[in-house]
């Protein structure tokens, strides 16, 4: 994620906050595994432990920084894992140019479930790691790589567990899962220097499997005491989707995480998805503009390791999405 700044985005509005900042609130009330949907209309039970193991596996490769061995090996593992759940997996490879002129290998990984069903939704998460811990309070750590466990892998862990469930249980809609690359190689003050893999994906979007009714972006969805708010860009483009998802979370007993109050806007992958593809897409992200710094204390620091990933929060997010998928009716 990115710095707190204000800027103007084409087709948007001024005053959007540019990604996450520090927060000192780290008390945990996230261990509960709330209402199970396993017995509710054949809705599968999302396993927080399984999602956690997928997060742990990504982190074990080391920081997934573009052009590194860890980045390459993690991409291979994620593609292989998705292929074990569906044969319809594409690795979209390209080279993008970073803000500093660096040529960065980029791999977006796209898994399509039930391609015959044109009535579908899409779920997104980025999987790369920011190369620098530039928000660390210890300035000598700013140039050093960090694990990046919640920032990226938590959303991927949720998506991989959803993919595992879709392998064995068919909902009434198609589902496209997209793991986006080179999201976090950017510089404050230049919003277009972030989300490079997303910009490439959106500009080369393959409509052959149908255009999703809507999209859901996951970003930093595993930290204890997460606060998922009505983020302003999501409200602007996809308020009905926000209301649908947050209502389902409340039904399941997760309203302590999913808080239906508006907060400031952020530039994340969903901005480019909305603007370029016109797929109405929301962002589920731990962000509250009224909280000191807006974002978690771990953001872009060496504190972003497996200690800030909570199985209960992964369960809350994952089960909410599973229920949305299996109860979906066209908007």
Tell whether the model's pLDDT for residue 207 goes beyond 90: no
pLDDT for res 23: 38
Per-residue model confidence (pLDDT) at position 293:
75
Per-residue pLDDT of 278-311, as tens digits, reads 999 999 999 988 877 788 888 888 899 999 999 9
Average pLDDT over residues 83-104: 98
Return the CATH fold of 48-327: Aminopeptidase (3.40.630)
d(CA 254, CA 275): 30
State yes or no: pLDDT of 1 exceeds 80.
no
Identify the pLDDT of residue 12.
Answer: 38
Q: Does pLDDT of 21 surpass 90? A: no
Provide DSSP, 91-156: EEEEEEE-TTS-EEEEEEEEEEE-TT--SEEEEEEE----S--TT-SSGGGTTS----STTTHHHH
- Say what the pLDDT of residue 147 is: 84
Note the pLDDT of residue 300. 84
Give tens-digit pLDDT for 112-146.
999 999 999 999 999 999 999 877 777 777 778 78
Give Rg (Cα) of the chain.
Answer: 18
For β-strands 228-231 and 258-263, DSSP reports them as parallel
Distance CA 234, CA 228 (A): 12
CB 215 within 8 A of CB 17: no
Give residue 108's pLDDT: 98
Residue 140, Cβ neighbours under 10 Å: how many? 7
Residues with Cβ within 8 Å of residue 165, at least 6 apart in sequence: 44, 46, 322
Contact 151, 52 (CB under 8 A): no
- pLDDT on residue 329: 64
Share of the chain above pLDDT 90, in %: 74
Whether the full predicted model's pTM is greater than 0.85, yes or no, is yes
20 Cα distance to chain centroid: 13
Which tens digit of pLDDT belongs to each residue from 235-254?
999 999 999 999 999 999 99
Is residue 257 within 8 A of residue 227, CB to CB? The reply is: yes
Query: CA-to-CA distance for 292 and 177, rounded, in angstroms?
Result: 33
Tens-digit pLDDT profile for residues 33-49: 454 554 456 899 999 99
Instruction: Tell me the mean pLDDT in the region 208-235.
Output: 95
């Amino acid at each position: 994620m990115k710095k707190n700044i204000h800027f103007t985005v084409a087709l948007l509005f001024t005053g959007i906050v540019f990604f996450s900042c520090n927060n000192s609130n780290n008390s945990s009330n996230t261990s509960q595994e709330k209402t199970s949907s396993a017995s509710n209309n054949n809705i599968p039970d999302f396993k927080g432990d399984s999602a956690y193991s997928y997060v742990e596996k990504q982190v074990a490769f080391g920081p997934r920084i573009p052009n590194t061995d860890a980045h390459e090996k993690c991409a291979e593992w994620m593609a292989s894992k998705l292929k074990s759940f569906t044969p319809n997996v594409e690795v979209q490879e390209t080279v993008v140019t970073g803000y500093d002129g660096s040529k960065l290998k980029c791999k977006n990984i796209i898994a399509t479930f039930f391609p015959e069903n044109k009535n579908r939704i899409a779920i997104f998460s980025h999987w790369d790691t920011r190369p620098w811990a530039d928000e660390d309070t210890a300035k000598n750590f700013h140039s050093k790589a960090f694990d990046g466990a919640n920032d990226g892998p938590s959303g991927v862990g949720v998506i991989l567990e959803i993919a595992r469930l879709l392998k064995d249980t068919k909902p009434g809609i198609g589902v496209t899962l997209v793991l986006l690359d080179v999201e976090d190689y950017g510089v404050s003050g230049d919003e277009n220097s972030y989300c490079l893999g997303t910009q490439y994906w959106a500009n080369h979007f393959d409509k052959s499997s149908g255009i999703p009714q809507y999209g859901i972006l996951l970003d930093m969805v595993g930290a204890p005491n997460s606060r998922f708010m009505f983020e302003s860009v999501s409200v602007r483009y996809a308020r009905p989707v926000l209301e649908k998802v947050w209502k389902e979370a409340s039904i399941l007993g997760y309203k302590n995480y999913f808080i239906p109050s508006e907060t400031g806007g952020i530039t994340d992958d969903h901005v480019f998805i909305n603007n370029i593809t016109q797929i109405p897409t929301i962002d589920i992200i731990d962000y509250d503009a009224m909280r000191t710094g807006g974002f978690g204390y771990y953001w872009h620091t060496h504190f972003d390791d497996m200690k800030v990933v909570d199985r209960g929060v992964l369960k809350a997010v994952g089960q909410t999405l599973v229920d949305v998928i299996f109860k979906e009716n066209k908007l």
